[in-house]
Structure 1
Amino acid sequence: MSLRQTLHALPRDARDTLFLLVVIAWVIAPQVNVLPAWASLLAAGLMLWRGWLAFTGRPLPTRWVLAVPLVIAVAGTLYTHRTILGRDAGVTLIVMLLALKMLELRARRDALVVFFLGFFTMLSNFFFSQSLFTAAAMLVALLGLLTALVNAHMPVGRPPLSQALRTAGTMALLGAPIMAALFMLFPRMAPLWGMPADNLTGRSGLSGTMKIGDMAEIALDDRVAIRLRFEGDERSIPPQSVLYFRGPVMTGFDGREWQAEPFREDSPWAARVAVPANLKVSGPAVRYEVTLEPQRQPWLMVLEATPEAPTLPNMQAYMTQDLQWMTARPITEVLRYQAVSYPSFRHGPTTSSRQLRVHTELPPGFNPRTLELATQMRADPTLTNADTQQLVDAVLQRLRTGGYSYSLDPGVFGEHTADEFWFDRKEGFCEHISSAFVVLMRALDVPARIVTGYQGGERNPVDGYWIVRNADAHAWAEVWMESRGWVRVDPTGAVSPGRIGAFQRLRAPQGAFATAMGTVISPGLAQNLRAVWEAVNNSWNQWVLNYTQSRQLDLLKSLGFESPSWQDLTMVLGILIIVAALGGMGWSLWERSQHDPWLRLLARARQRLARAGLVVPDTLPPRAMAERVQAQFGAPAAAVAEWLLRLERVRYAPHPETALGDLRREFRSIAWPKQ
């Protein structure tokens, strides 16, 4: 016997339970990566147990037996999260309760509780991710839960699940316009609007420190970090070689790790911007719109250099003396903003000062051979009276001609990272090269520092947006020059010019699965498919996740409102709901008028008899129904049998509408039999 035949032979309760278990598993599955491992295993075990009981027809466990996994679930939540409140602990508990409730599914009331918990668990998926993939998966979950709910309200017979699915799909389609109206017009009032996103577990990206070798790990992450849409034509878009997105600026160095000023939410802004950046821009401006993926950091990624604050929704931005644009709190949701940058700029002090000495400090006892190299360079007759630019050129020339190479995996560096790069390994990723360059420049008594961010980008041919990935994370250097201020120097370009100009990235070696897929799908087709998917995902970000209150108000302006407010949004939404309700009422009245009122009254009588335990076929006429009523219920149901006989006579009366009204009134007052 095949699996399909086996399932078809099961009782209806077992079939419906197995279908509901599949739907609940689909609802819970996206949260496996955020739930504690014990919670995922316990939920899977409980649902497999329930499925086995349904398949074999065994009785459900008693409440005393269920108390054991309940205690384990609560204790595990307290042990893992140290509380039962909050998002993470709450979602863990709700998943556990949903799985446990499936083992208590005895009556209709229990089923309604399961449906309620299922819908709530489905909603909780958006607490962790609001991506297009999550939305699509939850749309399938919604149809599944609605199908199970409709099926539970079909108590008679063994209706096919396809029938319940059609009804559920119709319900979803009818509710779609209302859902769209609520999405577009429901006032978004911060901070009530939005999903909590206080934990981005597993999300890679830039940070306030740069340990030598860590940035190569980011290069393994091919996810999108930034999307850009430039204004103007193709001629206004800067070349890839000047697309530097400025992030944390590293000044402190302990021999292994570079550090930026730590971000603290309680730090006063005035203290962070006390030293002016002295930014001076020139040349044509580049106007663009950024869609920044959340990485739980306060840095706004903008092109160097941006003199004015980017236009942000519901928050402010400020620039530090290091030319970093930041927000007052970490960015934990997809953020869209506009900015204006100038690729030609100068910044920083133009004359030497005591504050610059911090940029020449090196930790004692580290990189002795690099310090000796600096002494030798200073003793070189050609560099005796060299200025900073000549020293920079000399170091870059050494990188070009000294046999150095650009590598994603140069191995683990030891204690003296600069020494190993300059004299031993002679290969490294961008942070190895930039760090060794800055250490040597500081040893030459030249103020220098590390700047991290992203460099380059690629244009998506489908939607025209430029995409910058986590794999495009980059580290470069800045040196201070008299009368010029801080000047960008990218030593990686001296080792591998293609990394900067031709946008040639080092890619991680593919695994066995990716290699196998490469033999099935051509690289060109795979690239085109990825471009289409990223364009679709970008549209989701632009039109759904970034549908802010300002865009709501712009919608009202297009409808004729001069100065719209959230009160206007509420009014328009209320009017639409009233119109929809009146339209639904009118459609219902029209729909009822299109059906035979005599058949509707007969169907109501058939439903009343079914509640009393007498199920009659739809094709049975009233006279035969009256005979069955008398046979099953006897004299107490004589009035019902007489009412059915009168209903049959009315069908053939010359003016049935008058008598039908009397029968309709008697229908409500007659004593129908009860089970």
Structure 2
Amino acid sequence: MTTLPLRLRSQAAGLPRDARDTLFLLVVIALVLLPQLPSLPMWTSAMVGAVLVWRGRLAWQSAPLPGRRWRVGMLLVALAATWLSHRTLIGREAGVTLVVVLLALKMLELRARRDAFVVFFLSFFVMLTSFFQSQSLMTAVLMLAALMGLLTALVNAHMPVGRPPLAQSARIAAFMTLAGAPVMLALFLFFPRLAPLWGTPNEGMTGRSGLSSTMRVGTIAQLALDDGIAARVRFDGNEPPPRTALYFRGPVLARFDGVEWTSAQPWERGLPLLRTRGAPVDYEITLEPSNRPWLLALDAMRDAPALPEGLRALPSGDLQWSTNRPIGDLLRYRGQSHLDFTSGPVRRASVPGFMLSLPVGSNPRTAELARQLQAQTGGSTPALVDAVLQRLRTGGYVYTLEPGLYGAQTADEFWFDRKAGFCEHIASSFVILMRAAGVPARIVTGFQGGEINSVDGYWTLRNSDAHAWAEVWEEGKGWWRVDPTAAVSPGRVGQFQRLAPPPGFFAGAIGAMSPTLIQHARALWEAVNNAWNQRVLNYTQSRQLDLLKAFGMDSPSPADLARVLLLALVAASLGGAIWAWRERRRTDAWLRLLARARNRLGRAGVAAPAGSPPRRLAELAAARHGNAAGPVRDWLLRLEAQRYARDPSEGLAVLRRDFRRLRWPG
């Protein structure tokens, strides 16, 4: 009894060519659309999937295509759904949604080669839109596979005679790709690097670990760890800093309205007045696109990093660095930071008043605790900090990602009721307590710790490494760091005992058999992906100019890039012209074999006109030599079948071999 796959394969082999080509094109379109699915509205994915399956069923059954009313109705439904989803029919998201739906609907009127070419070029455009969402290595691999599929379908559409195998079209497409690879490489290396045209702000981190411009404590009952990569860091020298010292500074939150922490206005932050001790640390950061203007810096960076053209590093009085526009592309820059530092004014009169302010009536039990601690410690800032940290260590407080929803008085609930929370709860409650005790304090958000990749030596910062700590101000000293989370859960700081999301079913099963296999595979993949980021996505104009310097140019300019690119394109064009000239002079392999047979028959006394086909030669040979020409006649008929049969059973290589073995009459 034949299995289902064998039956399906047998049925597919008997389909007309149009049906076979349509099914192949549907598979290619599905591959083109695959990277788009996570960013499309649910109705779009459902509609596109239904249309493709419907079209495949029609092709399999050789059924007629739906009428115009069906197509127009579905188009109107798609337009209405797009408007409801995006509140517009223009713009990037709405435009991508529409073009994806139109590509699927176009398959419902695929009747002629002209329709097929529209589908091909619309698919090429949809491939480009996939990079709006991600330029990762996985996306590039998927799009390369989709490109090869589209080129195969395009070549197949230009072969209208017979039933050419798809493998033959795939070989031609692969050859075309390889032939065009030198031109693609020259364009990549020397075409002037321009800023990408995509990348818009996206506030999608609510309820997930990561950085945000505000912090609303108590409104998230459960924090989901996001293992996505935020940045990669490479330290100069052989000894990087210890994990416990790796605090990468992001937004600083100093204003509190009783519910939400926000950043101070630029004119309210004063001067950084950075005071450092010890040798600085040199490092290089590769920052993933965040669509935010923040530059991560290892606390604390004095001098601005050098950024690509069009971006400027902007300092602030609270040691936060940012750029003049959101970061929508992979960004690499070098920095130099001091791990031992204080900052800001050293006199109380220079500290802004909002660094102490709390809403009236906010967290009364915390205010009473602050008064008690003041009385016990004498009001000294270091003594107050030590007393609060000691309370966190010994008071039964717990670091957890599932603290539940807090009420309006978040600090009171943390200190006296729940005694549980993640770093935002702990840092916010600590700062509120310090302010209630008369000590200026603020929250700093960023990343802490990270993990080193054993394959390429880069430190990886993930969104799950996002952290919040505090800074307190002391007379004569200025601002200095306090991390209250380290008192509650020392293992959280430095990545020694990280809370982690539960593994999936397959990852858990593999991890149970080999605990290190998942880590090694993950490290290898991230190292490969990092190499893609460093060498491809981060191939900037400065690196282009460095390449020209390696070729011997002392001070290359963008004009030199244009000249080198022009020379490379001219050389590639000349090479293509020479190859085309040689190809035109070459005779078709089948025709060459037929000419050899005609010449051999001529020596056997069979005279035939130059344009005689194989069947005519077989008739002339049989008329001249009778049964003695039987093997030659059979071979000539096989040669004709190889050229004109709908599904040739053998190739030219077999016919050439048999030609050499023939016994010719005469």
User: Which of the five TM-score ranges fits, normalised by the shorter chain?
Assistant: 0.7 to 0.9
| Secondary structure class of the residue paired with 1:288 | strand
Which residue is equivalent to 2:305? 310
State the match for 2:626 in structure 1: none
Contact 2:226 2:463 in 1 (8 A): yes
- Aligned amino acid, residue 276 of structure 1: L
* One-letter amino acid matched to 2:414: F
CA deviation after TM superposition for structure 1 residue 365, in Å: 2.2
Deviation (angstroms), 1:165: 1.2
Q: Which amino acid aligns with 1:343?
A: L
* Paired residue total: 596
1:589-633 deviations in Å (ceiling 9; x for gaps) = 345556589947989xxxxxxxxxxxxxxx9983347969xxxxx
Aligned to 1:41: 46
SS of 1:330's equivalent?
coil
Deviation at 1:545, TM superposition (A): 0.8
The AA in structure 2 aligned to 1:549 is: Q
The equivalent residue for 1:4 is: 9
Change (3 A) 1:585 1:434: same
Q: What letter corresponds to residue 490 of structure 2 in structure 1?
A: P
Match of 1:636 in 2: none
Give the distance between the partners of 1:597 and 1:504, measured in 2 at CA. Answer: 69
Q: Distance in 2 between matches of 1:371 and 1:211?
A: 20
Question: Aligned partners of 1:620 and 1:256: how far apart in 2?
Answer: 96
Change (3 A) 1:364 1:160: same
Unaligned runs of 5+ in 1: 263-270, 604-618, 629-675
Correspondence list, 1:95-494, <5 A: 95-189=100-194, 193-200=195-202, 202=204, 205-213=210-218, 220-234=225-239, 237-261=240-264, 272=267, 275-314=270-309, 315-353=311-349, 355-380=351-376, 383=377, 385-494=378-487
In 1, Cα distance between the equivalents of 2:197 and 2:134?
9
C-alpha displacement of 1:171: 1.3
Q: Which runs of 5+ in 2 are unaligned?
A: 596-607, 618-666
Following superposition, the deviation at residue 65 of structure 1 comes to: 3.0
The one-letter amino acid paired with 1:197 is G
Code of the aligned partner of 1:88: E
Residues 428 and 548 of structure 1: CA distance in aligned 2, closer, same or farther (over 3 Å): same
Deviations along 1:191-235, whole A, 9 cap, x unmatched? Answer: xx414011547455211111225789666111111101111222x
Deviation at 1:328, TM superposition (A): 1.5
Does the CA contact (< 8 Å) of 2:218 and 2:407 recur in 1?
no
Q: Is this contact kept in 2: 1:215–1:431, CA < 8 A? A: no
Letter in 2 for 1:348: G
Shift of 1:479: 0.6
Does the 8 A contact of 1:287 with 1:340 survive in 2?
yes
Structure 1 CA distance for aligned equivalents of residues 8 and 495 of structure 2: 57
Question: Which of 513, 522, 525 is matched with 2:514 structurally?
Answer: 522
1:538 maps to 530
The structure-2 alpha-carbon separation of the partners of 1:505 and 1:63, relative to structure 1 and needing over 3 Å to count, comes to same
Matched with 1:504 is 497
**Matched residues in 2 for 1:585 and 1:179: separation?**
17
Do the aligned partners of residues 502 and 58 (structure 1) sit closer, same or farther apart at CA in structure 2, a change above 3 Å counting? closer
Q: Deviations over 1:478-531 (max 9, x none)?
A: 110011000101111112222225632112334545434433x52201000000
On the 8 A contact 1:126/1:195 being kept in 2, the answer is no
| 2:558 corresponding residue in structure 1 | 566
User: Structure 2 CA distance, aligned partners of 1:149 and 1:466?
Assistant: 44
Counterpart for residue 568 of structure 2: 576
Q: Corresponding residue for 1:550?
A: 542
**What's the secondary structure of 1:452's corresponding residue?**
strand
2 CA distance for matches of 1:459 and 1:106?
56
For 1:602 and 1:153, how far apart are their aligned partners in 2?
25
Deviation, structure 1 residue 53: 1.1
Match of residue 625 from structure 2: none
In 2, distance between residues paired with 1:332 and 1:462? 27
**Residue identity in the other structure for 2:561:** L
Residues 273, 150 of structure 1: CA spacing in aligned structure 2 closer, same or farther, 3 A cutoff?
A: farther
Question: Which amino acid counterpart does residue 398 of structure 1 have in structure 2?
Answer: R
What SS class does the counterpart of residue 175 from structure 1 fall into?
helix
Q: TM-score, normalised by structure 1?
A: 0.84
The answer to whether the 8 A contact 1:219-1:472 is kept is no
| Cα RMSD (Å) | 2.5
Contact 2:312 2:323 in 1 (8 A): yes
**Residues 273, 320 of structure 1: 8 Å contact kept:** no
Q: What SS class does the counterpart of residue 307 from structure 2 fall into?
A: coil
Q: Structure 1 198/218 Cα, relative in aligned 2: closer, same or farther at 3 Å? A: farther
The more displaced of 566-575 and 347-356 is 347-356
CA deviation after TM superposition for structure 1 residue 122, in Å: 1.1
Write the letter of the residue equivalent to 2:288: E
3-state SS of paired residue (2:553): coil
